[in-house]
Amino acid sequence: MSAAEPAPATRQEAALPAAAWTPKRLWRQLPFFVWLVALWMLLWGQFTPLSLVTGIVAAVFVAAVFRLPPVELSGRVNLWWGLVFVLEFLVALVVGSLTVAWQALAWWQQPGAAVIAVRLRTDDDLIMTHTAVTASLIPGSLIVDVDRGRRVLYLHVIGVRSDADLAGQRRSVLHWEERIVRAVGSRAQLDKLRADPAAPAAGGAR
């Protein structure tokens, strides 16, 4: 066998599809499908059997038709921190809705708005996506751009009138990143988060 010719084992591995859906891979992707279904229900604002079924159909359709590369999950799920994330998220939804409603009714003062940049501490596509979606779902903030290479999220936020308000918005985004890492992040990501509890701001308001 010449040096240029690949070994039989190598050829066999290359012949396997990159996204082969083995039982082990299906088990590792299960939390991702659960998250997609939950995200679908949150976007529709309905927690009904119909939204559950349509969410499952949408998740399967996206994975089967668009042939996206498989998302490699950490394999770690902390149910306690997952529950903490869900409860805090629901509280933030209510508080955010009431705050935006008050800002709309308070015609005698401008709520103030800005575009801020927040550099995340975790270099992971899935964690970044979850953090961005969570921040966008809470009334009062919306993701407008993402710099994947620098791990920076750009958000349009309302209700900011001072540097302290801007710093509070950045802390809020980093807080959601922390909660998500504690719930579904790897142990390496969790250790990095503990070693770097506060990330520097990526930039000022625009």
Distance CA 21, CA 9 (A): 20
Strand partners, 146: 153
pLDDT of 3 above 60: no
Residue 127: pLDDT above 70? yes
The DSSP secondary structure of 47-75, one letter per residue, reads -SHHHHHHHHHHHHHHHHHS-PPPP---S
pLDDT digits (tens, 9 = 90+) for 60-75: 787 677 665 555 655 6
